[in-house]
Amino acid sequence: MFNGEDLEDWTIKIRGHELGENFGNTFRVEDGLLKVRYDQYENGFEEKFGHIFYKDSYSTYLLGAEYRFVGEQIEGGAGWAFRNNGLMLHGQDPATMEIDQDFPNSIEVQLLGGYQQGERPTANVCTPGTHLVMDGDLITNHCTNSHSKAFPGDQWVRVDVLVVRDSLFVHYVNGEEVMHYEKPQLDDGTPLKEGTISLQSESHPTDFRTVELYDLKEYEGDPRALREMVSRLLKERNN
């Protein structure tokens, strides 16, 4: 999805700005990395939450991203946004977002960097405008932690996510499963069976060196073949 050279096939939406406006050069490509930066913000963050959307929507796939947090959080960023980014899945079309909308309705795979002390897992799940079912219970609180370990400092971390329409989401960190759930849905109960994919800008500088997707739609009717393909892909990508 990210070609290491430019942002072709991606569209930017930043709160308070029109679709396609890359305010402050927030999203850029340098040294083969997709970088999220705030050095051109003259008045601090000002809740300019942003997202960069890939051009296509998907239903069943394995998404992989390698990320790291760098530098200092911009002035005005919220405490919870320290070393915080996300993969927004089954999201709404950015053309339908209000100009002052913070986040697209979506399922967020929350990417967190650890504190120097204490536990802070990554690959959690958050639900802007959505709900989900976990262990048979409808989850309506905004964020639920995975059981991953914490990753402090500027180290690279790989997160993979298996998405099977509205029947299954599985999060992996460096090849190990850390969370799973099912039945993603809008707040009104409408099932989410497909949607957009986007990355965030929430006030802490972030680098992505890999954003890749393997479309598994052809395996939707064959659970065994799907499991075998996912197992093979995870081994290949995490070795």
Q: How far apart are the first and last CA of the chain?
A: 20
C-alpha to C-alpha distance for 1 and 185, rounded to whole angstroms: 25
What local confidence, expressed as pLDDT, does residue 115 receive?
81
Handedness of CA 190, 13, 26, 79 (dihedral sign): negative
C-alpha to C-alpha distance for 145 and 179, rounded to whole angstroms: 8
What local confidence, expressed as pLDDT, does residue 239 receive?
79
What local confidence, expressed as pLDDT, does residue 117 receive?
63
The three-state secondary structure class of 224 is: helix
Task: List the structure tokens of 143.
Answer: 């964020």
Name 176's bridge partners. 173
C-alpha to C-alpha distance for 189 and 163, rounded to whole angstroms: 19
Contact 27, 50 (CB under 8 A): yes
Name 18's bridge partners. none
What local confidence, expressed as pLDDT, does residue 39 receive?
98
Q: Is the pTM of this model over 0.85?
A: yes
Which amino acid would we find at residue 23? F
What local confidence, expressed as pLDDT, does residue 25 receive?
98
Name the strand (E) or helix (H) holding 12. Answer: strand 10-14
C-alpha to C-alpha distance for 146 and 209, rounded to whole angstroms: 23
Angle value at C-alpha 201, between 198 and 207, nearest 5 degrees: 85
Q: For 19, how many CA atoms within 13 A lie in the half-sphere containing its CB?
A: 10
Tens digit of each residue's pLDDT, the chain (239 residues): 999 999 999 999 999 999 999 999 999 999 999 999 999 999 999 999 999 999 999 999 999 999 999 999 999 999 999 999 999 999 999 999 999 999 999 999 999 998 866 689 999 999 999 999 999 999 999 999 999 999 988 999 999 999 999 999 999 999 999 999 999 999 999 999 999 999 999 999 999 999 999 999 999 989 999 999 999 999 998 87
What local confidence, expressed as pLDDT, does residue 37 receive?
98
230 φ, ψ (degrees, to nearest 5): -65, -45
Which amino acid would we find at residue 82? F
